[in-house]
Amino acid sequence: MAKKAWKVVVVDDDPVVLMILQTVFMREGWSVVTAGNGIDGLRLIREQNPDMVVLDLMLPALNGWEICKILREENTIPILMLTALDQEDHLIKGLQLGADDYVTKPFSPREVLARVQAILRRSRPEKHALQILDIGHLCIDP
């Protein structure tokens, strides 16, 4: 079974974070688009229709809280919040706004990759993995 080439948008105002995550995801053969501020990030997410969004919260122009809120009003795209805000209240707010996971900085790139892969497995199963089952007179089409 071929590996799915996911499309990810990473929105963060730290160029080092963008470079690290772009490298990690591209090593997996994924398509990665990055933005350094909230307005560009939201525009790219809408234009690119990615499989996943990795979103910082403290962004110039439009913060990650607002982007998450807007995205949840529009669709169910998976969102991983990646931020320096490490208080429990921030984590709870992020999850309540609709984020699928929340990772604090500093972060392990391998952990972020593993969490993104887990979210994608649950939220976007590959279509070819579903099979029609014929059992006697019963046909099950998932």
DSSP assignment of 34-84, as one string?
A: EESSHHHHHHHHHHH--SEEEE-SS-SSS-HHHHHHHHHHH----EEEEES
Centre a 10 Å sphere on the Cβ of residue 62 and count the other Cβ atoms it contains: 17
User: What CA–CA distances, in Å, run from 28 to 4, 32, 67?
Assistant: 9, 10, 26
For the stretch 54-94, pLDDT in tens is 999 999 999 999 999 999 999 999 999 999 999 999 999 99
Query: What pLDDT score was predicted for residue 130?
Result: 52
For the stretch 95-115, pLDDT in tens is 999 999 999 999 999 999 999
Cα-only R_g, the chain: 17
For the stretch 116-132, pLDDT in tens is 999 999 886 554 455 66
Residue with tokens 């990690």: 24
Query: What pLDDT score was predicted for residue 63?
Result: 97
Query: Three-class SS of residue 30?
Result: coil
- Compute the mean pLDDT over every residue in the chain, rounded to the nearest whole number: 90
Query: What pLDDT score was predicted for residue 127?
Result: 46
Find the angle CA(109)-CA(110)-CA(113) to the nearest 5 degrees. Answer: 85
Share of the chain above pLDDT 70, in %: 87
**Predicted TM-score (pTM) of this structure:** 0.85
Q: Is the pLDDT of residue 139 over 70?
A: no
